[in-house]
């Protein structure tokens, strides 16, 4: 189908294409005459999600656009969440129940009357005139009791003001790439329109703040609890260390062990020195005593020198013990080192005096003076006694050092174990303390970032929105036009009637001999019937002559047949006689060149016995078919019979009752009075943009 066929369908059905849309528009006009008015209100809130100040924004200057978009999506989803919508609806109902008189912007007269009409008496008992929150909580508890009460049905069914379905029509969107969110709501009541936005914006701000705060509250509580546990563990571990130090008399284990090691090293050095002094003094005394005579030895042993040596040994031992800050368990004294040293020097002097009083004047066998030997002996005796006393003290000191080392040696492992335990607990405590600090920082940041502000509060609309009635009427008219045109196209495409020569050739399998028009009385601009009949008859006549096989002196015999009565055989033959040879008669047609054609009209074939004349010789068999009929199985079978009987005779068809617009295939453009606009449209449809020739027929 080309554009021209579309245009033909439009032109043929102009009455339907414009009549039905007008009727639909008129009905919509009547139905929308009492449509309610619509009021609209808006509010804007500032979120601060993208560019607002926060602690994290100071720490991280980069922007995560995915996170920002996700945050806005979460916020918008929270606004349109069922819990938010239902809470808003219930608060609106509670607010209206609290009113005794209509008062803008709370409630209008009509809405107040409706609320009083639909609300059962037991619901009014739940109203607290002084508190919206209490009234809301009472209604919420009543609603949640079961699913058959008035409040539950009001919220969940289709009430135009208080249902979830009604209030969920709130539109929430982010304004471009800003921090703003715009909320819009439309209603048939201006007070409801205002209050829905007012209640909704406060409801979702509270929900958003609680949701944000709850994200970190549990985390903070968790870390606080774990921190308290870690603190107790740290206190216990430190108490264990304190008790360990007190039980083992430890001030600073590592310094003490270092001091003990140092003391032991000093002790060993001093012990070696004392042992060398002791051995040297003993050796000198032995040598000196060998050089002395027996008499001198006797004097030295027979006097009180031995006693003084014992006293000197005892004093030196006490001095050594006090010097090492130790106390001999067998010797008790309250004297200081200075006092003991003074007594020792006094005793040494007495020993010298005693030795001097013995008057040793002889010489040794080596020739040495005895006085010098005795004095030398005395000095070495004193050194010997001092070294011996020191050795005794060092033995005691060595025993004490070994006991101290034995005491401190195993303490290190236990102390390390306790210190490791303290270190682990302390690290755990510090880690939890750091995590708690981060959680509190995040909590503070969320509190700052969740502080949504209303920057453009909703206003009470005082005038309704422009009515959409005109658009609805226009839409109805367009739908009527498009629907009608679509139905006409479907009827055209799916119509199985023969309609025109091309369709008839495809359906019947026969060749077309021409078309004969269906003429109607269509006004002054209609084509002349005589002209059309003459043009189509002459065109058919020319097509018939193509099948002439004999001499022009011999008439061409054409059998005109049809399957059913009323297909137009007689009418067609009479028009041949009228427009080809008006004076011929007897169905013998001759044109001006004496090209004779004899028509033989055969009675209808289906339902009748084939007549005898059907079997005579014919140059051509012409079916007459109406364009407004179909082609059934009976037609196909009869055509098979005809083709088998007249298998050597050409068979074609003449299509009768053809629409004037379908005649162009044989007679060319139908001569009509067309305006310049129609001619231009036709040239455009046929893509003949530069055609200048105007078709005329004589």
On the question of pLDDT at 428 being above 50, the answer is yes
- The segment with the largest mean pLDDT, out of 23-32, 62-71, 391-400, is 23-32
Give the per-residue pLDDT at 525.
Answer: 46
Helix (H, G, I), strand (E, B) or coil at 659: coil
Overall pTM surpassing 0.85 (yes/no): no
User: Looking at the structure, do residues 204 and 177 belong to the same domain, yes or no?
Assistant: yes
User: Looking at the structure, do residues 313 and 383 belong to the same domain, yes or no?
Assistant: yes
Give the per-residue pLDDT at 329.
Answer: 43
The two structure tokens encoding residue 522:
């269509």
On the question of pLDDT at 97 being above 90, the answer is yes
Instruction: List residues bridging with 652 in a β-sheet.
Output: 511, 622
- Looking at the chain, the whole-number percentage of residues with pLDDT higher than 70 is 77
Q: How confident is the model at residue 693 (pLDDT cuts 50, 70, 90)?
A: low
Give the per-residue pLDDT at 688.
Answer: 62
Where is the domain boundary, 177, 199, 219? 219
User: Looking at the structure, do residues 135 and 186 belong to the same domain, yes or no?
Assistant: yes
For residue 370, report the phi and psi dihedrals to the nearest 5 degrees: -65, -35
**pLDDT tens-digit map of 555-594:** 888 999 999 999 999 999 998 888 887 555 555 676 655 5
In a domain, 228, yes or no: no
**pLDDT tens-digit map of 370-382:** 666 666 776 777 7
User: Looking at the structure, do residues 663 and 538 belong to the same domain, yes or no?
Assistant: yes
In a domain, 23, yes or no: yes
Among the listed ranges 82-86, 315-319, 669-673, which one has the minimum average pLDDT value?
Answer: 669-673
User: Looking at the structure, do residues 190 and 293 belong to the same domain, yes or no?
Assistant: no
Among the listed ranges 295-299, 310-314, 373-377, 439-443, which one has the minimum average pLDDT value?
Answer: 295-299
**pLDDT tens-digit map of 627-666:** 999 999 999 999 999 999 988 899 999 999 988 877 876 7
User: Looking at the structure, do residues 95 and 28 belong to the same domain, yes or no?
Assistant: no
Where is the domain boundary, 219, 241, 264? 219
Give the per-residue pLDDT at 683.
Answer: 61
- How many angstroms separate the first and last alpha carbons of the chain? 31
Instruction: Report the mean per-residue pLDDT for the chain.
Output: 80
Mean pLDDT value across residues 600-621: 90
User: Looking at the structure, do residues 150 and 283 belong to the same domain, yes or no?
Assistant: no
User: Looking at the structure, do residues 268 and 385 belong to the same domain, yes or no?
Assistant: yes
**pLDDT tens-digit map of 526-538:** 567 888 888 888 8
Domain count, the chain: 4
Where is the domain boundary, 382, 416, 450? 416
In a domain, 582, yes or no: yes
In a domain, 460, yes or no: no
Note the helical H segments in 119-252. Answer: 121-124, 132-143, 150-156, 164-167, 190-247
Q: How confident is the model at residue 331 (pLDDT cuts 50, 70, 90)?
A: very low
In a domain, 431, yes or no: no
d(CA 453, CA 459): 16
In a domain, 226, yes or no: no
User: Looking at the structure, do residues 283 and 212 belong to the same domain, yes or no?
Assistant: no
User: Looking at the structure, do residues 363 and 288 belong to the same domain, yes or no?
Assistant: yes
User: Looking at the structure, do residues 264 and 369 belong to the same domain, yes or no?
Assistant: yes
On the question of pLDDT at 327 being above 60, the answer is no
Whether 459 and 41 have beta carbons less than 8 Å apart is answered as yes
What's 528's domain CATH number? 3.40.50.300
The two structure tokens encoding residue 546:
């193509």
3-state secondary structure 249-297: CCCCHHHHHHHHHHHHHHHHHHHHHHHHHHHHHHHHHHHHHHHCCHHHH
In a domain, 244, yes or no: no
Q: How confident is the model at residue 94 (pLDDT cuts 50, 70, 90)?
A: very high
User: Looking at the structure, do residues 269 and 151 belong to the same domain, yes or no?
Assistant: no
Mean pLDDT value across residues 416-435: 86
Domain that holds residue 299: 253-416
**pLDDT tens-digit map of 180-199:** 999 999 999 999 999 999 99
CA distances from 499 to 245, 271, 598 (A): 119, 142, 28
């Amino acid at each position: 189908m080309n554009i021209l066929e579309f245009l033909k369908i439009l032109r043929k059905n102009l009455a339907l294409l414009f009549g039905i849309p007008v009727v639909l528009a008129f009905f919509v006009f009547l139905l929308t005459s009492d449509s309610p008015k619509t009021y609209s209100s808006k509010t804007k809130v500032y979120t601060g999600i993208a560019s607002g100040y926060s602690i994290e924004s100071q720490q991280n200057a980069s922007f995560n656009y995915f996170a920002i978009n996700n945050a806005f999506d979460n916020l918008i989803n929270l606004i349109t969440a069922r819990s938010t919508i239902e809470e808003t609806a219930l608060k609106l109902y509670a607010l209206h129940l609290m009113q005794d008189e209509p008062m803008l912007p709370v409630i209008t007269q009509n809405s107040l009357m409706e609320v009083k009409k639909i609300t059962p008496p037991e619901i009014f008992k739940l109203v607290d005139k002084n508190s919206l929150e209490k009234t809301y909580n009472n209604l919420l508890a009543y609603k949640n009791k079961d699913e058959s009460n008035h409040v539950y049905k009001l919220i969940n069914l289709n009430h135009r003001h208080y249902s979830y379905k009604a209030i969920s029509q709130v539109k929430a969107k982010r304004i471009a790439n800003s921090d703003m969110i715009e909320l819009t709501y439309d209603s048939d009541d201006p007070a409801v329109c205002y209050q829905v936005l007012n209640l909704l914006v406060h409801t979702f701000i509270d929900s958003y703040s609680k949701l944000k705060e709850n994200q970190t509250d549990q985390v903070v509580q968790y870390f606080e609890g774990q921190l308290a546990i870690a603190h107790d563990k740290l206190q216990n571990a430190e108490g264990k260390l304190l008790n360990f130090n007190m039980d083992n008399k430890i001030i600073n284990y590592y310094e003490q062990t270092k001091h003990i090691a140092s003391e032991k090293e000093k002790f060993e050095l001093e012990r070696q020195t004392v042992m060398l002094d002791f051995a040297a003094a003993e050796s000198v005394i032995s040598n000196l005593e060998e050089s002395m005579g027996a008499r001198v030895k006797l004097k030295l042993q027979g006097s009180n020198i031995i006693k003084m040596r014992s006293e000197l040994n005892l004093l030196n031992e006490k001095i050594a013990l006090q010097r090492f800050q130790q106390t001999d368990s067998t010797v008790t004294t309250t004297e200081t080192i200075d006092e003991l040293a003074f007594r020792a020097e006094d005793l040494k002097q007495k020993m010298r005096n005693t030795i001097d009083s013995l008057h040793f004047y002889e010489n040794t066998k080596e020739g040495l003076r005895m006085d010098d030997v005795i004095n030398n002996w005395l000095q070495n005796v004193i050194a010997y006694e001092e070294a011996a006393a020191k050795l005794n003290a060092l033995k005691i000191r060595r025993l004490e050092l070994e006991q101290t080392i034995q005491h401190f040696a195993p303490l290190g492992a236990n102390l390390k174990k306790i210190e490791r335990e303290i270190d682990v607990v302390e690290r755990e405590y510090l880690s939890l303390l750091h995590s708690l600090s981060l959680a509190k920082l995040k909590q503070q940041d969320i509190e700052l970032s969740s502080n949504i502000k209303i920057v453009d509060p909703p206003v009470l609309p005082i005038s309704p929105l422009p009515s959409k009635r005109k658009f609805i009427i226009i839409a109805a008219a367009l739908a009527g036009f498009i629907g009608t045109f679509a139905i006409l196209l479907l009827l055209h495409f799916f119509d199985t009637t023969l309609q025109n020569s091309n369709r008839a050739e495809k359906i019947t399998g026969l060749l077309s001999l021409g078309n004969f028009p269906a003429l109607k009385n269509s006004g002054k601009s209609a084509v002349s019937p005589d002209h059309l009949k003459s043009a189509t008859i002459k065109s058919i006549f020319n097509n018939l002559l193509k099948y002439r096989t004999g001499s022009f002196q011999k008439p061409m015999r054409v059998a005109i047949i049809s399957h059913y009565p009323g297909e137009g055989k007689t009418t067609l033959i009479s028009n041949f006689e009228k427009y080809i040879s008006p004076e011929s008669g007897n169905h013998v047609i001759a044109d001006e060149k004496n090209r004779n054609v004899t028509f033989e009209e055969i009675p209808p074939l289906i339902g009748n016995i084939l007549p005898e004349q059907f079997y005579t010789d014919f140059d051509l068999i012409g079916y007459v078919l109406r364009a407004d009929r179909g082609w059934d199985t009976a037609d196909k079978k009869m055509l098979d019979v005809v083709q088998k009987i007249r298998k050597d005779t050409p068979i074609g068809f003449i299509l009768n009752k053809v629409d004037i617009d379908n005649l162009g295939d044989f007679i060319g453009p139908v001569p009509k009075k067309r305006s310049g606009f129609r001619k231009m449209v036709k040239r455009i449809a046929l893509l003949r943009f530069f055609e200048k020739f105007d078709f005329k027929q004589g």
